[in-house]
């Protein structure tokens, strides 16, 4: 399954992530059947598809949390499966992940959550680790009053920001975001979109973002990959998507909630 439609974005295109013929399934069921997908350095790729189409499963397979049945996942130019344990750990330090529900450790404060990846991967003095965690928390727009709060004391938007600060803890080159704006009100979601754009600019990030949010697609994404029926339906810009023939894409981008995108 090759990428059916691709429009060039930007002059330089260096793949940072490539899946080739990726197959992922559970028991008798194949969820993703031969996915070829490329994410180029510096771009924001939005991944869309109907509920249950395998967006999260694909993300988890790419970052090695789920085994794949066949195919390859190349990150930073190397086949992740073929790496030694040490090399995998080194690779994992070069990406950050924001899971759908934030996945913060409930028994740790915001500050401790953000410090956690540094504790695991870097031999830093405690004071420096804490200082870096404070900077990351500031970077995502949370005030010092959030430092000592536990996840149960945070609003949905604060959880997303704290989880983003943790994902940024190790200065990743690529950020994986699983529905970063779900559960946020429209103002909170728009602010989060702005934050992603600012961080991408400031930190030179590549972003792989699973989303249902049409506004995020329009505001943040350079290209969009649409999954459906176990395969890649289409890859392209928003304007490519607006002209798509696929019935699901026509419904998705032609529905009442997408009307404003035509004018965007």
Name which position in 38, 40, 56, 113 contacts ligand ATP (CB under 6 A).
56
d(CA 94, CA 83): 14
Choose the binding region for ligand ATP from 35-43, 51-59, 74-82, 134-142 (rule: CB under 6 A): 51-59
Asked if residue 248 lies in contact with residue 35, where contact means CB atoms within 8 angstroms, the answer is no
Annotate each residue in 14-43 with x if it binds ligand ATP (CB under 6 A) or - if it does not, as one string: ------------x----x------------
Residue for token pair 């009307």: 259
Please, where are the H alpha helices in 37-81? 55-62
String of b and e for 55-72 (b: at least 16 CB within 10 Å)?
Answer: bbbbbbbbbbebebeebe
Structure tokens at 254: 């032609």
Asked if residue 178 lies in contact with residue 210, where contact means CB atoms within 8 angstroms, the answer is yes
Choose the binding region for ligand ATP from 7-15, 50-58, 105-113, 200-208 (rule: CB under 6 A): 50-58
Choose the binding region for ligand ATP from 55-63, 78-86, 156-164, 192-200 (rule: CB under 6 A): 55-63
Name which position in 52, 144, 247, 255 contacts ligand ATP (CB under 6 A).
52
Residue for token pair 């699901």: 248
Name which position in 18, 33, 43, 49 contacts ligand ATP (CB under 6 A).
49
Q: Does 211 bind ligand ATP (CB under 6 A)?
A: no
> What residues line the site for ligand ATP (CB under 6 A)?
26, 31, 49, 51-57
């Amino acid at each position: 399954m090759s990428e059916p439609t691709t429009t060039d974005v930007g002059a330089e295109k260096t793949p940072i992530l490539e899946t080739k013929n990726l197959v992922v399934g559970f028991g008798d069921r194949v969820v993703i059947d031969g996915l070829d997908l490329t994410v180029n350095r510096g771009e924001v790729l939005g991944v869309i598809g109907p509920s249950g189409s395998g967006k999260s499963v694909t993300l988890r397979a790419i970052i090695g949390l789920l085994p794949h049945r066949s195919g390859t996942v190349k990150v930073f130019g190397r086949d992740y499966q073929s790496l030694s344990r040490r090399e995998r750990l080194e690779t994992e330090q070069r990406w950050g992940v924001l899971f759908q529900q934030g996945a913060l450790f409930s028994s740790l404060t915001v500050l401790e959550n953000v410090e956690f990846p540094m504790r695991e991967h870097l031999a830093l003095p405690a004071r420096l680790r804490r200082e870096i965690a404070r900077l990351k928390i500031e970077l995502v727009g949370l005030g010092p009053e959030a430092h000592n709060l536990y996840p149960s004391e945070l609003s949905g938007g604060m959880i997303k920001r704290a989880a983003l600060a943790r994902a940024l803890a190790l200065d990743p080159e690529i950020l994986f975001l699983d529905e970063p704006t779900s559960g946020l009100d429209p103002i909170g979601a728009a602010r989060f979109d702005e934050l992603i754009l600012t961080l991408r600019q400031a930190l030179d990030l590549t972003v792989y973002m699973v989303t249902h949010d049409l506004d995020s697609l329009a505001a943040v994404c350079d290209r969009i990959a649409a999954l459906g029926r176990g395969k890649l339906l289409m890859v392209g810009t928003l304007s490519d998507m607006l002209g798509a023939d696929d019935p699901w894409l026509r419904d998705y981008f032609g529905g009442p909630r997408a009307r404003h995108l035509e004018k965007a």
